[in-house]
Amino acid sequence: MIDKLKALKAHFSELESLLSDPAVISDMEKYKKYSEEHGELTPIVQKIDYYFDLLKQIEELETLTNDDDEEVKELAKEELKSAIESKNVLEAELPRLLLPKDPNDSKNVILEIRAGVGGDEAALFAAELLRMYLRYAEKKGFGAELLSSSYIGIGGIKEAALLISGGGAYSKFKFESGAHRVQRVPETESSGRIHTSAVTVAVLPEVTEVEADINPNDLRIDTYCASGAGGQYVNRTETAVRITHIPTGIVVQCQDEKSQLKNKEKAMRVLRARVSDAARIKQEQEVAADRKSQVGSGDRSERIRTYNFPQNRVTDHRINMTLYKLDSFMEGNLDEIIDALTVDNETKRLTEVSE
C-alpha cells in the first residue's frame, strides 16, 4: 500500500505543476479537468500526509520508550499507543480512498420508471416510486425535473423519466436499477387477497452532447399532438416529439411541455443517456467485462427489492437486508439501504483488489 500512496502523492504533485502551467491555464477544458481531479484528491492526500507523519512519529516514539529517563519512557509509551491506534484507523480507511472512483458518480441522473407486470396496480406503484425518489432527492438537496411521463386515468403511470441534478447524484441512485416488486392488497380487491406486481427502474448518468456525439443524420424526429390520460387530444398543435435513433432503434418521446422545442430538448437528454448506456453494455459484452464488483448487474429484469405493505417490510435482496419501516422508506428515507449497498460494493471491490 505504501507504494500506492507514494504514487498518488507524486500524481498530485504533477497535477499542481500542470495547474500552474500557462499552456494548461489557457486551455479551459484541460484546466477544468485537472482542477476537478485536484479538488477530489486534496482531502485524500492530506490523510496520506498525516499517515506518513504518524509513521515517522511512531518510529521516534519507539526509540524514546528505551530512554533512560523513566518519565520520558512512560510518556512515550502513552503517546505511542495513541499514535498506533490512529495509524490502524487510517490503514483501514486508506484502501477505500485508493479505490478507483466511478467516473459517473458526480454526474446528474436520468431515472426511468416503468410499470411492469400487475396492470393498474403496477402503474399505481410506479407513481408511488416516482414520489419516493422525488422525496429522497429533496432530502439530499438535489434538483428534480420530470422529463417525460405517461399517466393512466386512476393516477398511475405507465412510464416516467426524471432528471436528478446535483453533485454526487449518480452515486446515490446508481444501485436502484432493476425490478422492484410490491406485495399488497389493491384498493380494488374486495376479497383482501395480496397481489404481487412489479415496476422496473433504470438509472442512467446524464450525458452531454460532446460525450454522446450523436450524428443528427442518425435521428428521425416525428411530431404529433399531445394526448391526455384518456387518449383525447388536449390540443391541435403538434407539440409532442418522438425521436428515433436509427442505428440502435432506441425511441424516446416527450409531450409534457406545451412547447415542441422544450419537448425536443428533454427527449434528447433522455436519448443521449440511453444511447450511451447501450454503447457501454455492448462494449462490456464484447470484452466480456467482469462485473462482479457491481451490486447486481443493473439489469432491469433482475429483482432487487421487495416492498411488502401488509408487514411494513422492505427487503433488498442483493445484500439480504430487511427493514420493518416501509412507511418511512416510501417517504424518501432511503439512506439506510443505500449506504449499506455502497459499503457492500466497496467491500467487494476491496476483496477483488487484494486477490
pLDDT digits (tens, 9 = 90+) for 229-238: 444 444 556 7
With H, G, I as helix, E, B as strand and everything else as coil, classify residue 200.
Answer: strand
Largest CA distance in the chain: 96
Alpha-helical segments (H) within the chain: 2-19, 22-25, 28-64, 70-98, 119-139, 169-173, 209-212, 260-286, 326-329, 335-354
Q: Which amino acid is at 118?
A: G
pLDDT digits (tens, 9 = 90+) for 4-59: 888 888 998 999 999 999 998 998 888 888 888 888 889 889 999 999 999 999 99
Q: Which domains does the chain have, with CATH numbers?
A: 2-98 (1.20.58), 109-347 (3.30.70.1660)
With H, G, I as helix, E, B as strand and everything else as coil, classify residue 323.
Answer: strand
* Of 169, 162, 165, the residue nearest 202 (C-alpha): 162
The pLDDT assigned to 293 comes to 42
Query: Could you tell me the pLDDT band of residue 285, with boundaries at 50, 70 and 90?
Result: low
* Of 98, 104, 123, the residue nearest 6 (C-alpha): 98
Q: How does the average pLDDT of the chain come out, rounded?
A: 84
**What does the alpha-carbon distance between residue 305 and residue 201 come to, in Å, rounded to a whole number?**
11
**What does the alpha-carbon distance between residue 178 and residue 302 come to, in Å, rounded to a whole number?**
5
pLDDT digits (tens, 9 = 90+) for 298-318: 444 578 999 999 999 999 999
Are 60 and 14 contacting, i.e. CB atoms less than 8 angstroms apart? Answer: no
Nine-digit cell string for 115: 410499470
**What does the alpha-carbon distance between residue 147 and residue 276 come to, in Å, rounded to a whole number?**
18
**What does the alpha-carbon distance between residue 119 and residue 137 come to, in Å, rounded to a whole number?**
27
Lowest mean pLDDT among 104-113, 172-181, 182-191, 198-207: 182-191
Environment class of 163 (CB within 10 Å of its CB; exposed 0-12, middle 13-18, buried 19+): buried
Indicate the pTM of the whole model: 0.71
